[in-house]
């Protein structure tokens, strides 16, 4: 008996293929719609229905992190201090930690707002039904953790891990380039004219330690303590690091002429663009390490020249 060809086979193959494609599409769609749950730095659990497409960032380090992870195009509004990369300067500016424009922010219809823990608008934003994630890194471990959380929010956890490894590796490279003469120098890093200093427990202090410097501010004073000026005089640092905004008049402060860094002119003055890099705990920390290493290298040789251009900077800084 001669067997007849099964004419319906192509139809069966097409049906099976359609089912498989549909299943794959359903699985992919389900993955995209999977909720994202994380605990922010307030200890609050936040659940997002999906990877956000519209983000408002109210902290410069978080803005830079989002952009470094490749999602700058999702940022629809920023605080007044976010100025890097250059593309964010064209976005709506919504104010600072204390004077955020709620109406303008809500009009942007963000899927999530990321900001610092100290922002005063958190309760109001949540009261309006907005998703809010508060993240505020102060130490290098904090930076690694915040990178991981931002990677989770953006669906880019692997990218976030690679970014941290790159930052950490570049800091190690900066340390390796320093000659023995640049190691072991005592340093006072002034973050603001309070004076407020960068303590051993801060990310700046941790970078200094990795570069082999001796921070005059002990860990027990906290990451960014306000200091009695006499404390700095007594500590007698060999090197002072300070932003151009706060450098004017520093050598003339009462008693400071006796400090070794002042006497020997080993004061590294950061121009505004450098200050922004140095005070933001985010993806440009490796650049911060390179700047600090340059300062220590220059100070080991002799007097460090001050910037010749007058201070004239748009809003920036660590806020």
d(CA 221, CA 57): 30
Residue 17 confidence (pLDDT): 43
d(CA 147, CA 160): 6
d(CA 174, CA 78): 31
Q: 315 pLDDT band (50/70/90 cuts)?
A: low
Question: pLDDT of 23-73, one tens digit each?
Answer: 444 444 444 468 999 999 999 999 999 999 999 999 999 999 999 999 999
Closest Cα partner for 89 from 98, 99, 81?
A: 81
Residue 115 bridge partners (DSSP): 134
Displacement of CA 316 from its chain's centroid (Å): 13
Residue 194 confidence (pLDDT): 87
Closest Cα partner for 292 from 217, 165, 206, 197?
A: 206
Q: Is the pLDDT of residue 247 over 90?
A: yes
Question: pLDDT of 112-139, one tens digit each?
Answer: 999 999 999 999 999 999 999 999 898 9
Q: At what angle do helices 140-154 and 157-176 cross, to 10 degrees?
A: 150
- Please give the full DSSP string across 15-75, using - where no structure is assigned: HHHHHHHHHHHHHHHHHHT--EEEE-TTS-EEEESSS-SSEEE-SHHHHHHHHHTT-GGGE
* Length of the chain as a residue count: 319
Residue 313 confidence (pLDDT): 60
Work out whether strand 132-134 and strand 55-57 pair parallel, antiparallel, or are unpaired. unpaired
Q: Is the pLDDT of residue 171 over 90?
A: yes
First-to-last CA distance in the chain? 87
Tokens representing residue 275 in the block: 């200050």
d(CA 30, CA 38): 19
Return the DSSP state at 3: P
Residue 309 confidence (pLDDT): 78
pTM, rounded to two decimals: 0.85
Displacement of CA 206 from its chain's centroid (Å): 15
């Amino acid at each position: 008996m001669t067997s007849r060809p099964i004419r319906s086979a192509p139809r069966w193959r097409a049906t099976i293929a359609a089912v498989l494609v549909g299943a794959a599409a359903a699985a992919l769609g389900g993955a995209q719609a999977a909720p994202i749950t994380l605990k922010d730095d307030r200890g609050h659990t936040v659940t997002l229905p999906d990877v956000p497409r519209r983000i408002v960032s109210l902290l410069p380090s978080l803005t830079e992190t989002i952009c470094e992870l490749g999602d700058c195009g999702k940022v629809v509004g920023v605080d007044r201090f976010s100025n890097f990369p250059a593309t964010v300067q064209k976005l709506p500016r919504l104010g600072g930690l204390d004077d955020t424009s709620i109406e303008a922010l809500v009009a942007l219809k963000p899927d999530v707002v990321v900001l610092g823990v100290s922002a005063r608008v958190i309760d109001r934003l949540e009261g309006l039904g907005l998703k809010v994630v508060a993240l505020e890194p102060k130490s290098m471990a904090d930076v690694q953790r915040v990178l991981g959380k931002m990677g989770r929010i953006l669906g880019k956890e692997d990218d976030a891990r690679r970014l941290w490894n790159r930052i950490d590796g570049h800091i190690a490279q900066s340390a390796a380039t320093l000659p023995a003469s640049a190691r072991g120098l005592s340093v006072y890093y002034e973050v603001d004219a309070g004076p407020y200093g960068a303590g051993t427990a801060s990310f700046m202090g941790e970078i200094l330690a990795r570069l082999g410097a001796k921070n005059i501010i002990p860990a027990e004073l906290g990451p960014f303590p306000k200091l009695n000026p006499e404390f700095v005089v007594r500590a007698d640092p060999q090197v002072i690091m300070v932003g151009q905004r706060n450098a004017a008049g520093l050598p003339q402060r009462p008693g400071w002429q006796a400090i070794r860094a002042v006497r020997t002119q080993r004061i590294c003055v950061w121009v505004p663009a450098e200050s922004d890099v140095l005070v933001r705990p985010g993806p440009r920390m490796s650049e911060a390490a390179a700047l600090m290493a340059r300062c220590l290298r220059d100070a080991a040789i002799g007097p460090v020249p001050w910037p010749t251009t007058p201070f004239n900077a748009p809003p920036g800084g660590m806020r």
